[in-house]
Amino acid sequence: MATAELAKNPANYTTLTPLTFIARAALAHPDRTAVIYGDIRRSWAETYRRCLRLASALQALGVGPGDTVAALLPNVPEMLELHFAVPMLGAVLNAQNTRLDARTIGYMLDHGKAKVFFTDTEYHQRAAAALSDCRQPPLVIDVCDPHVSEGRRIGRISYDELLSQGSEEFRWQPPEDEWHSITLNYTSGTTGDPKGVVYHHRGAYLNALSNVIGLGLPSGAVYLWTLPMFHCNGWCFPWAVTAVAGTHVCLRQVQPERIFEAIRAHEVTHFCAAPVVLTMLVNAAASTQVHFAHPVTAATGGAAPPAAIIEAMEKLGIRIVHLYGLTETYGPSVICEFQDTWAGLPLAEKAGKIARQGILSLSMTDMMVADPATLEPVPRDGATIGELFLRGSTMMKGYLNDPEATAKAFAGGWFHTGDLGVWHPDGYVEIKDRSKDIIISGGENISSIEVENVLYRHPAVLEAAVVAMPDPFWGEVPCAFIAIKQGQALDEEEVVRFCKANLAGFKCPKKVIFLDELPKTSTGKIQKHVLRSRLAAMSA
């Protein structure tokens, strides 16, 4: 078959970009509600027009292909619009974690060479402090949310003023190359400066479709924004929900009563959240909780959802889908695909299945648990620990201006996740720990997650985290940090007794520290490095 002459042309080859999703949503369902926020209701036609205006106004400010536009915003409609308007110019959106300190914000503005900086007036103090140190301060645009009472403007112009300068006649072009950068996401940077992870249009398109299929988003899905949009671009859901012309329900603050009320009032079909948010929902006052009559699916990731949480969520009428991913993989890259046969299992057993991270998502191509030194896959025995490696279409281009870290992350033609786990006979991977969180005690590996899972089963435990504590004899031993549920009591002796009844002796915590709340990142991950520092300070 001689097909060399069958080349690409403008009719048979177009680049993949999530921008086609919003154009299609506006064409296919112009009158359907695209955005709900407080009293605001906007259709897809209106939302698309606003994005076109925003893009044209940014273009007039000099923003063009390859320029970075930073945004320090909660889950408000403006943040959603930026996910389309900025790529319309071929520019790159840097959605920043709103809980970071001024120094880190300034670092990201400088490192990413932000040309424009959108900031919510609530964050004016940190934003101003960050800008004062910038080598090349960007143009600042205030997003003035009427829900903010203590806000102050620090920019030259407001989002609404900018929008009023734009034109709906703006015509965007898809990127010439689908490898063109679309967003820049900084890792949480628990050690050292954060790294700038770069996504491309192709990956954003493909992960959006993978999310739609993986979570079963129907046309017109109603999606609640509990997961921050600054976190891996909201796991690519700004684009996924738009691909099905669904409704984005924005939420400024993650509070249980607001989540329950939003799900009920808008008949939310899907949301994403870290397990800690699910814990909040489950432990909310009974008067706040709503048992939903319509089907609700919640995707969770970042840590394995404890069995008790899965059970309690199901009782509220919420189906849990466990996902795994990293900033480097556009969010979801591994999914705990539910097996038909699990439906009939006793809950504890079913929860154990769901707590595993799972198998490749649709947009990923290859996965292995392997020896990080040799890249030799470990046996699928559910016991041998190795590092998780990934390959696929929804993998970052690399770290911005950091060729060394990029080369290290992709060494050997695989992405090194830094997560340690086992490979089960059914092909599902189960993360046991971050490389740096594993506890090595007397030559034995102890998975801090395994110990934490046991602690979570104790009825008085609200939150638990286990870290390594230096020990002159064993090298390291486990130390547990615990927050107790309201109205409950617990002491070290009871914790140790409970662990001994459920774990091998060497895995039991040798020290238990009680806190009223465990320190967490903005995305709800418990900050073990903070706990380690506290432990070091206590021992010093």
**Which residues between 27 and 46 bind its own copies (CB under 8 A)?**
27-32
Quick note: the x/- pattern for its own copies over 373-412, rule CB under 8 A, is: -----------------xxxx-xxxx-xx-x--x---x--
415 binds its own copies (CB under 8 A): yes
Residue 24 vs 532, nearer CB to its own copies: 24
Q: DSSP characters for 133-169?
A: T-SSPPEEEEE--TT-SS----SSEEHHHHHHH--TT
Residues 69-98 touching its own copies, rule: CB under 8 A, are 92
Q: Angle at CA 370, nearest 5°, toward 365 and 375?
A: 90
In whole angstroms, how close is the CB of 148 to its own copies at the nearest point?
30
Residue 274 vs 396, nearer CB to its own copies: 396
Q: What is the DSSP letter of 75?
A: B
Buried b / exposed e along 115-133 (16+ C-beta atoms within 10 A): bbbbbbbbbbebbeebbee
Residue 320 vs 499, nearer CB to its own copies: 320
Residues 171-230 touching its own copies, rule: CB under 8 A, are 174, 179, 181, 184, 198, 206, 209, 212-213, 216, 218-220
Phi first, then psi: what are they for 71, rounded to 5°?
Answer: -145, 125
- The residues, any chain, with a CB within 8 Å of residue 145's CB and separated by 6 or more, are 76, 120, 121, 122, 151, 252
- Would you give the distance in Å from CA 223 to the centre of its chain? 15
3-state SS of the chain: helix, strand, coil percent to 5? 35, 25, 40
CB of 357 within 8 A of CB of 328?
A: no
3-state secondary structure of 254: coil
In whole angstroms, how close is the CB of 522 to its own copies at the nearest point?
24
The residues facing 23 across adjacent strands are: none
User: How many residues belong to the site for its own copies (CB under 8 A)?
Assistant: 72
Indicate the pairing of strand 181-186 with strand 196-200. Answer: antiparallel
Residues 425-444 touching its own copies, rule: CB under 8 A, are 426-427
Distance (Å) of CA 292 to CA 286, 391, 409, 411, 458: 14, 38, 43, 47, 27
In whole angstroms, how close is the CB of 466 to its own copies at the nearest point?
31
- Member of 125, 164, 173, 365 binding its own copies (CB under 8 A): 365
Residue 418 vs 475, nearer CB to its own copies: 418
Q: DSSP characters for 358-375?
A: BEE-TTEEEEEEE-TTT-
Residues 463-482 touching its own copies, rule: CB under 8 A, are none
Residues 240-279 touching its own copies, rule: CB under 8 A, are 243-244
Residues 95-134 touching its own copies, rule: CB under 8 A, are 112-113
- Member of 7, 373, 537, 540 binding its own copies (CB under 8 A): 7
In whole angstroms, how close is the CB of 195 to its own copies at the nearest point?
12
Rounded-to-integer distance, Cα 111 and Cα 113, Å: 5
487 binds its own copies (CB under 8 A): no
135 binds its own copies (CB under 8 A): no
- Member of 64, 66, 379, 470 binding its own copies (CB under 8 A): 66
Rounded-to-integer distance, Cα 419 and Cα 315, Å: 31
14 binds its own copies (CB under 8 A): yes
Quick note: the x/- pattern for its own copies over 298-337, rule CB under 8 A, is: ---------------------------------------x
49 binds its own copies (CB under 8 A): no
In whole angstroms, how close is the CB of 411 to its own copies at the nearest point?
9
Residue 332 vs 478, nearer CB to its own copies: 332
Residue 220 vs 418, nearer CB to its own copies: 220
- Member of 63, 141, 304, 362 binding its own copies (CB under 8 A): 362
3-state secondary structure of 43: strand
Tokens of 466: 């286990």
Residue 10 vs 487, nearer CB to its own copies: 10
Rounded-to-integer distance, Cα 73 and Cα 95, Å: 8
- Member of 359, 385, 513, 530 binding its own copies (CB under 8 A): 359
